């Protein structure tokens, strides 16, 4: 089973499709497998020959489905899926190379349960891949994350105990809208009744989550990722206002929602302004503004102006005076 397109791999994929989507037709199965209808029926026949009961249901809502009560192996992987899983785990959590790590222990159990050939390669990848530790890594507690997912699913308010980066701790009641993963950070997107506003909280800083008996209604057409990005650019301690000598459509790819709200300036729209806030003016200047390839002017935010001035002075000093070795022949 060397690739995801071998007959065995496609038969396993067929089994997985029927397990998760009962009533899949031959046409739908063929589309998902990337084969003809005739070939899709052949993979169903392979499953039946292997002793897996696949029933055919006729009618407008018919299709293939596994017979009720069918017991299957807990999980099946192709070689590509198994290696991809190990790579994804190590990419997100370098410490998983250590069997003593929580995720490392779970990964070891998954590898141990794989068929010999696939498991051997997955184990070799885990053993010989060197993953550099992330000094800024912060992992959310699985129990807290699970509790938050449960209240999101049941549409129940929750009381969270939160500790800020500065060490301040408080409790508040929130409507939990979604859990969003952004750049290896796990966030709770919610409506805070304490602030009567949308808030985003790092889940690795949530110490406890207690479900209440009060329900809530999720906003219609909620886009959790978009709302999170927009919210990350507002509500921080230091206001920002930056004018760019370029139109919105050119600046937009360089100014994400977490930097603030981008708006055109003037009737012609030849310039635009970015209005928001930040908790770290130095980072805003060095990592975000410095990367934008257009002239800009910091119009608002004393702290941001100071941070940009400090950066400009440091860079100016780096090239002041003759270059090393200049004039030497």
The predicted-structure confidence for 32-83, as pLDDT tens digits, reads as follows 998 999 999 999 998 888 778 899 887 666 789 888 777 665 666 777 888 8
pLDDT: which is higher, 252 or 183: 252
CB 132 within 8 A of CB 91: no
Encode pLDDT of 265-308 as tens digits. 988 889 999 999 998 999 999 999 999 999 999 999 999 999 99
| pTM, two decimal places | 0.64
Q: Taking residues 78-103, what's their average pLDDT?
A: 85
Instruction: Extract the tokens encoding 249.
Output: 């459509």
What are the angstrom distances between the C-alpha of 76 and each of 13, 79, 118, 308?
9, 10, 11, 54
> For residue 216, what pLDDT is reported?
97
Q: Taking residues 180-206, what's their average pLDDT?
A: 92
DSSP state of 67: P
Instruction: Extract the tokens encoding 217.
Output: 């209604």
> For residue 177, what pLDDT is reported?
97
In the chain the first and final C-alpha atoms are separated, in Å, by 65
> For residue 2, what pLDDT is reported?
37
CB 175 within 8 A of CB 216: yes
Query: Is the pLDDT assigned to residue 313 strictly greater than 60?
Result: yes
3-state secondary structure of 223: coil
Give pairs for 48-54: CB < 8 Å, separation 24+.
50/11, 52/15, 54/18
d(CA 259, CA 241) in angstroms, rounded, equals 10
Query: Is the pLDDT assigned to residue 232 strictly greater than 70?
Result: yes
Encode pLDDT of 241-270 as tens digits. 999 999 999 999 999 888 998 999 988 889
d(CA 72, CA 98) in angstroms, rounded, equals 31
> For residue 180, what pLDDT is reported?
94
What are the angstrom distances between the C-alpha of 143 and each of 163, 194, 210?
17, 24, 12
Q: Which residues contact 219 (CB under 8 A, 6 or more apart)?
A: 177
> For residue 99, what pLDDT is reported?
82
> For residue 165, what pLDDT is reported?
79
> For residue 327, what pLDDT is reported?
57
Encode pLDDT of 120-164 as tens digits. 888 999 888 888 887 777 889 999 999 999 999 999 999 999 998
């Amino acid at each position: 089973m060397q690739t995801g397109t071998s007959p065995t791999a496609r038969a396993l994929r067929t089994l997985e499709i029927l397990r998760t989507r009962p009533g899949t037709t031959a046409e739908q199965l063929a589309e998902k497998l990337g084969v003809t209808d005739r070939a899709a029926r052949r993979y169903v026949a392979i499953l039946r020959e292997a002793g897996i009961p696949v029933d055919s249901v006729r009618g407008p809502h018919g299709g293939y489905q596994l017979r009720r009560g069918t017991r299957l192996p807990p999980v099946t992987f192709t070689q590509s899926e198994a290696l991809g899983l190990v790579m994804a785990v190590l990419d997100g959590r370098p410490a998983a190379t250590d069997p003593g790590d929580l995720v490392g222990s779970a990964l070891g159990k998954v590898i141990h349960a794989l068929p010999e050939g696939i498991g051997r390669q997955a184990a070799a990848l885990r053993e010989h891949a060197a993953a550099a530790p992330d000094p800024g890594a912060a992992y959310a507690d699985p129990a807290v994350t699970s509790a938050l997912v449960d209240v999101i699913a049941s549409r129940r308010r929750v009381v969270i105990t939160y500790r800020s980066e500065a060490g301040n701790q408080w409790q508040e009641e929130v409507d939990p809208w979604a859990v969003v993963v952004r750049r290896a950070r796990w966030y709770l997107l919610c409506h805070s009744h304490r602030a009567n506003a949308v808030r985003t909280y790092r889940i690795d800083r949530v110490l406890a989550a207690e479900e209440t008996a009060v329900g809530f209604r999720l906003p219609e057409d909620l886009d959790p990722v978009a709302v999170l990005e927009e919210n990350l650019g507002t509500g921080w301690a230091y206001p920002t206002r930056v004018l760019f000598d370029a139109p919105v459509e050119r600046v937009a790819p360089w100014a994400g929602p977490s930097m603030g709200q981008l708006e055109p300036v003037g009737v012609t729209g030849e310039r635009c302004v970015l209005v928001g806030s930040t908790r770290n003016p130095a980072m805003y200047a060095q990592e975000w503004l410095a990367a934008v390839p257009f002239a800009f002017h910091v119009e608002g935010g004393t702290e941001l102006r100071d941070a940009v001035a400090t950066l400009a002075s440091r860079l100016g000093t780096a090239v002041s005076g003759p270059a090393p070795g200049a004039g030497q022949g």
